[in-house]
């Protein structure tokens, strides 16, 4: 195919003011009649032909202003409907098509999930329902009539407000009419039909609007939707308080479906969710699952303003709604939970997913300038890095100008399809600053590296700090420009005393920077000097992770230990621990698996970890984060070339063992069951205590597998919640032998009727870092728990395996071959999920030569396949490029 280019954007030649849909649901033959009112767009080309998008459609009738058109190939194909010489005045087009939702395995457009009908239209799924101008800058008012057999679909839902329901002439059939008064692009259309139960509630907005809330689930699952409902109401309240945004319809519905490619979808007034982000009980969901539900509920709800009321002009602007909405959901969760711990978790995710993307051939701009398949751009770069850009903006212009800018954006662009330039323009205005250089964050791929070199002169007690930035080339972008990097900065005395910047003589800092503590680096280098310091000072750089950059500091282990113990910025305390551990692990990897004894690890590091464990005032969730070692994937990315995943694994297991032994008594105390047994609550403080206990168990088991096994087995049996149970099983899964298999079986039997718990069971086994895992995964593919038709099952087992660093990257290449085979098999049925799995190869070039050759061969095999979807073709081509 030909790429779509940002530079070739043109306004549409025609606008569709209204779309009436009349949809008669049938499992294999759903009839879709649409009536479009179309008029020439004054901003478009006059008298241009009208070309509507379709995708695999079967047309039955086309009527232009009451006149039937011949269904010739010049007029209509499965993929387009063309009117060569349309009327110059407004006109109507009526179209009838027939579609088979049961045969729709791509899960785009109208499809079946379980016994329900549902839709997914973002990005280009509406054209699989009927012919339309399928682009986000065409906004239409939708009215949707749905008809079905009462037995087949007692519940009929669409966007907006319910205006009519009734029985049909045939008393076994009924209908519902929904009207959405807000013009919207068709990617926000949704329809659901089926036998669903509903959890109902009401919400009254600050302005007094009564909103009927409904969460629709499979029959019998209403008790599992209460947490989601609670999260929804808290999100609605928060958006009023934080951004002054109220909900705007009388109804807000959410439907949970079990077959869904992505996490969830923000369709106007009718969100459709992957049920994994709705259903939860203490017995089946972990603390992480609850946090995920809260986040995704908030995210989709917040889209009502950032995405729906203000949408994107074109798909290049995807980060306009996604980055901003991730920023908003992160802020929400920070307010609802612990802000420092949330920040650490978000940065972990950013590094694991986005830095990895940036480090390989799939690196792309936060605002791409070309795409072959837009589905492949729902990435960590668009979402997570997009959110970081919004946060940087806040750091740079300050909270007040930022909030004013958001308000201006909402006021000015409500009801429109906007661009990144529109968005940034609002902040340039409210901050009276020039953001043109800042714009580079959207236009330049790759993770910048920030180097910090500091020199202390004891004679005059002065400290000089030199910053420099550089960004390595990425595919298609050989040279990089300097970015505007907000560096939140402070000083910590070598004895741990905080040193306020205002209290020392400084050179090179503006008054505003002194006030805010945010240093703006906009050139390749910058130098700051501090004089008259009370003692040697250690720079604390990039506090709160104020910019999405890699940081290289010259801090010594003892400097880092001071920061870990004393920095007033929690993020940098955690970062100090990570840096210390990463250094030990990278060195250990270099020693290629020479097993370290406990005394090989710097005693300073052990003492620092011990001190964190001993701190009676520390938040357990924070301590758990400090004690959690960098992942094998993080280390592989940091090492960046000639990676040997086995050596990384050995080094990390060795450090786990060292810490487990050296901190044995402390960890054992933390592993004791809590004294007062209170009912489970997913709230942050309780979750934090569980996280610490489970991290301690993991470390302890690294030092003493026998003790670890006993403790984990006891915890598994005693657990009244999934968090503790799956954590125990996770520890057991790392200890080969009979006990592990017995416990895995027991778990499976306990939760045989819970597909979402089955996913945990599958992915846990797929992550076992042992040579037998691939055979195990292949066996599990024929276990009744697994199904190649359900994305969640595939993500759990196959995705779980591809994230397994040592086993996906097996030296014999079998891991690569296995994933390649699955990608090719799946591609015929569900190209989106196949393309996602293929992302596992994103860092193949950083592997050592032997593995690199194997990975390349597997990719070549996919590329040579004659019939590939656009999705997989795009990823495989870029990966090899």
Bridge-based pairing of strands 251-257 and 210-217 is: parallel
Task: Give the nearer residue to ligand DPP in terms of CB position, either 262 or 863.
Answer: 262
CA distances, 741 to each of 732, 745, 761 (Å): 9, 6, 12
How many residues can be counted in the chain?
881
Asked if residue 373 binds ligand DPP (CB under 6 A), the reply is no
Q: Out of ligand DPP, Zn ion, none, which partner does residue 264 contact, by CB within 5 to 8 A per kind?
A: ligand DPP
Task: Give the nearer residue to ligand DPP in terms of CB position, either 299 or 391.
Answer: 299
Task: Give the nearer residue to ligand DPP in terms of CB position, either 272 or 352.
Answer: 272
**How far is the C-alpha of 96 from the C-alpha of 254, rounded, in Å?**
29
Full strand arrangement of the beta sheet holding 264-265: 197-204, 210-217, 251-257, 270-274, 264-265
Show the tokens assigned to 223: 């008790």
Q: Give min distance, CB of 292 to Zn ion, in A.
A: 14
CB of 823 within 8 A of CB of 837?
Answer: yes
CB of 33 within 8 A of CB of 21?
Answer: yes
| Binding positions for ligand DPP, 272-311, rule CB under 6 A | 299-300
Angle of the 603-614 helix axis to the 570-590 helix axis, nearest 10: 150
Helices (H) and strands (E) in the chain, counts: 30, 32
Asked if residue 262 binds ligand DPP (CB under 6 A), the reply is yes
Stretch that binds ligand DPP, among 36-44, 79-87, 146-154, 264-272 (CB under 6 A): 264-272
Q: Out of ligand DPP, Zn ion, none, which partner does residue 262 contact, by CB within 5 to 8 A per kind?
A: ligand DPP
Closest CA to 322 of 285, 374, 258: 374
Classified as helix, coil or strand, 624 is helix
Asked if residue 264 binds ligand DPP (CB under 6 A), the reply is yes
Among 266, 646, 754, 871, binds ligand DPP (CB under 6 A): 266
Task: Give the nearer residue to Zn ion in terms of CB position, either 119 or 325.
Answer: 325
Show the tokens assigned to 371: 């795409």
The CA angle 43-45-48, to the nearest 5 degrees, is 135
Task: Give the nearer residue to ligand DPP in terms of CB position, either 16 or 264.
Answer: 264
Q: Out of Zn ion, ligand DPP, none, which partner does residue 275 contact, by CB within 5 to 8 A per kind?
A: none
**φ/ψ (deg, to 5) at 365:** -65, 150
Site string for ligand DPP, 317-356 (x = CB under 6 A): -----x----------------------------------
Prior bond of 123 cis (ω within 30°) = yes
Task: Give the nearer residue to ligand DPP in terms of CB position, either 235 or 695.
Answer: 235
Burial of 92 (0-12, 13-18, 19+ CB in 10 A): middle
Secondary element (H or E) of residue 420 = helix 420-431
Task: Give the nearer residue to Zn ion in terms of CB position, either 91 or 409.
Answer: 409
What residues contact 871, with CB distance under 8 A and at least 6 apart? 373, 375, 376, 827, 831, 832, 834, 835
The residue count for binding ligand DPP (CB under 6 A) is: 9
CA distances, 600 to each of 604, 606, 651, 804 (Å): 11, 11, 12, 28
In DSSP terms, which residues pair with 140 in a beta bridge?
184
Stretch that binds ligand DPP, among 20-28, 107-115, 261-269, 761-769 (CB under 6 A): 261-269
Closest CA to 77 of 29, 32, 127, 111: 127
CB of 486 within 8 A of CB of 388?
Answer: no
CB of 193 within 8 A of CB of 153?
Answer: yes
Stretch that binds ligand DPP, among 76-84, 263-271, 509-517, 846-854 (CB under 6 A): 263-271
Q: Which residue has the CB atom at the shortest distance from ligand DPP?
A: 262
Q: Out of ligand DPP, Zn ion, none, which partner does residue 874 contact, by CB within 5 to 8 A per kind?
A: none
Q: Which of 218, 294, 300, 357 is catalytic?
A: 300
864 as an active site residue: the answer is no
Q: Out of Zn ion, ligand DPP, none, which partner does residue 842 contact, by CB within 5 to 8 A per kind?
A: none
Task: Give the nearer residue to Zn ion in terms of CB position, either 329 or 724.
Answer: 329
Stretch that binds ligand DPP, among 57-65, 79-87, 257-265, 341-349 (CB under 6 A): 257-265
Task: Kindly state the DSSP code that residue 123 receives in the 8-state scheme.
Answer: T
Asked if residue 122 binds ligand DPP (CB under 6 A), the reply is yes
Site string for ligand DPP, 378-397 (x = CB under 6 A): x-------------------
User: Residue with structure tokens 């970081």?
Assistant: 388
Q: Out of ligand DPP, Zn ion, none, which partner does residue 653 contact, by CB within 5 to 8 A per kind?
A: none
Task: Give the nearer residue to ligand DPP in terms of CB position, either 122 or 239.
Answer: 122
Q: Would you tell me which residues interact with Zn ion (CB under 5 A)?
A: 322, 325
Q: Give min distance, CB of 384 to Zn ion, in A.
A: 12
Angle of the 645-662 helix axis to the 570-590 helix axis, nearest 10: 120
Q: Give min distance, CB of 266 to Zn ion, in A.
A: 6
Stretch that binds ligand DPP, among 258-266, 433-441, 480-488, 786-794 (CB under 6 A): 258-266
Q: Out of Zn ion, ligand DPP, none, which partner does residue 177 contact, by CB within 5 to 8 A per kind?
A: none
Residues serving a catalytic function are: 300
Q: Which residues bind ligand DPP (CB under 6 A)?
A: 122, 262, 264-266, 299-300, 322, 378
């Amino acid at each position: 195919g030909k790429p779509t280019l940002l530079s070739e954007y043109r306004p549409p030649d025609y606008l569709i003011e209204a779309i009436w849909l009349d949809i008669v649901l049938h499992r294999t033959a759903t009839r879709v009649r649409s009536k479009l009112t179309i008029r020439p767009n004054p901003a478009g080309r006059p008298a241009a032909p009208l070309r509507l998008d379709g995708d695999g459609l079967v047309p039955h009738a086309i009527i232009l202003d009451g006149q039937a058109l011949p269904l010739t190939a010049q007029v209509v194909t499965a993929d387009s409907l063309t009117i060569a010489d349309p009327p110059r005045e407004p006109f109507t087009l009526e179209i009838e098509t027939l579609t088979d939702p049961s045969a729709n395995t791509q899960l785009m457009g109208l499809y079946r999930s379980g016994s329900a009908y549902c839709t997914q239209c973002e990005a280009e799924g509406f054209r699989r329902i009927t012919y339309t101008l399928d682009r986000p800058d065409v906004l239409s008012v939708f009215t949707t009539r749905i008809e079905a057999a009462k037995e087949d679909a007692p519940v009929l839902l669409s966007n907006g407000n319910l205006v009519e329901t009734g029985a049909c002439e045939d008393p076994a059939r009924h209908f519902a009419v929904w009207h959405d008064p807000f013009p919207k692009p068709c990617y926000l259309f949704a329809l659901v039909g089926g036998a669903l139960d509903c959890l109902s509630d009401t919400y009254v907005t600050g302005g007094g609007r009564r909103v009927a809330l409904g969460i629709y689930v499979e029959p019998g699952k209403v008790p599992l939707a209460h947490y989601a409902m609670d999260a929804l109401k808290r999100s609605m309240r928060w958006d009023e308080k934080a951004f002054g945004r109220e909900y705007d319809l009388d109804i807000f519905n959410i439907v949970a479906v079990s077959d869904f490619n992505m996490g969830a979808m923000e369709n106007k007034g009718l969100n459709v969710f992957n049920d994994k982000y709705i259903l939860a009980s203490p017995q089946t969901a972990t603390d992480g699952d609850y946090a995920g539900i809260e986040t995704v509920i908030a995210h989709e709800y917040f889209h009502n303003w950032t995405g729906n009321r203000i949408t994107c002009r074109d798909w290049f602007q995807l980060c306009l709604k996604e980055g901003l909405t991730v920023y908003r959901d992160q802020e929400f969760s920070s307010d609802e939970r612990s802000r420092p711990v949330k920040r650490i978790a978000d940065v972990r995710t950013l590094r694991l997913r986005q830095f990895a993307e940036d480090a390989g051939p799939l690196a792309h701009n936060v605002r791409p300038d070309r795409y072959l398949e837009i589905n492949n751009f729902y990435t960590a770069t668009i979402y997570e890095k997009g959110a970081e850009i919004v946060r940087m903006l806040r750091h740079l212009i300050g909270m007040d100008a930022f909030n004013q800018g958001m308000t201006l954006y909402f006021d000015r662009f409500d009801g429109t399809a906007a661009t990144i330039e529109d968005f940034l323009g609002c902040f340039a205005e409210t901050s009276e600053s020039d953001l043109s250089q800042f714009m580079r964050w959207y236009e330049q791929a790759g993770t910048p590296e920030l180097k910090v070199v500091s020199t202390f002169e004891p004679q005059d007690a002065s400290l000089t700090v030199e910053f420099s930035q550089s960004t390595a080339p990425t595919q298609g972008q050989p040279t990089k420009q300097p970015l505007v990097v907000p560096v939140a900065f402070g000083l910590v005395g070598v004895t741990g005393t905080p040193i306020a910047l205002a209290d020392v003589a400084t050179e090179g800092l503006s008054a505003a920077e002194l006030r805010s503590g945010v240093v703006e680096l906009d050139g390749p280098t910058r130098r700051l000097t501090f004089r008259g310091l009370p003692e040697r000072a250690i720079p604390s750089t990039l506090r709160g992770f104020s910019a999405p950059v890699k940081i290289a500091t010259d801090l010594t282990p003892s400097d880092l230990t001071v920061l870990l113990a004393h920095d007033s910025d929690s993020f940098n305390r955690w970062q100090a621990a990570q840096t210390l551990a990463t250094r030990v692990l990278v060195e250990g990897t270099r020693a290629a698996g020479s097993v370290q004894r406990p005394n090989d690890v710097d005693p300073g590091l052990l003492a620092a970890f011990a001190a964190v464990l001993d701190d009676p005032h520390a938040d357990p969730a924070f301590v758990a984060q400090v004690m959690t070692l960098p992942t094998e994937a993080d280390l592989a990315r940091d090492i960046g070339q000639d990676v040997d995943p086995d050596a990384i694994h050995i080094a990390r297991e060795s450090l786990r063992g060292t810490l487990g032994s050296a901190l044995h008594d402390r960890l054992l105390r933390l592993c004791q069951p809590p004294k007062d047994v209170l009912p489970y609550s997913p709230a942050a403080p309780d979750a934090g205590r569980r996280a610490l206990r489970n991290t301690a168990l993991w470390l302890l088991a690294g030092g003493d597998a026998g003790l670890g096994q006993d403790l984990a087995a006891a915890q598994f049996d005693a657990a009244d919640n999934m968090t503790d149970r799956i954590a125990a099983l996770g520890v057991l899964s790392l200890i080969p032998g009979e006990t592990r298999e017995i416990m895995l079986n027991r778990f499976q039997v306990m939760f045989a009727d819970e597909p979402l718990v089955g996913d945990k069971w599958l992915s846990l086994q797929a992550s076992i870092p042992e040579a037998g895992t691939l055979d195990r995964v292949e066996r599990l593919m024929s276990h009744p728990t697994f199904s190649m038709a359900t994305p969640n099952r595939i993500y759990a087992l196959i995705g779980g395996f591809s994230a397994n660093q040592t086993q996906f990257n097996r030296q014999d290449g079998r891991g690569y071959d296995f994933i390649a085979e699955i990608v090719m098999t799946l591609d015929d049925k569900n190209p989106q999920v196949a393309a996602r799995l293929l992302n596992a190869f994103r860092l193949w070039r950083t592997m050592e030569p032997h593995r690199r050759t194997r990975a390349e061969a597997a990719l070549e095999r996919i590329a040579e396949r004659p019939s590939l979807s656009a999705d997989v073709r795009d990823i495989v081509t870029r990966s090899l490029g």
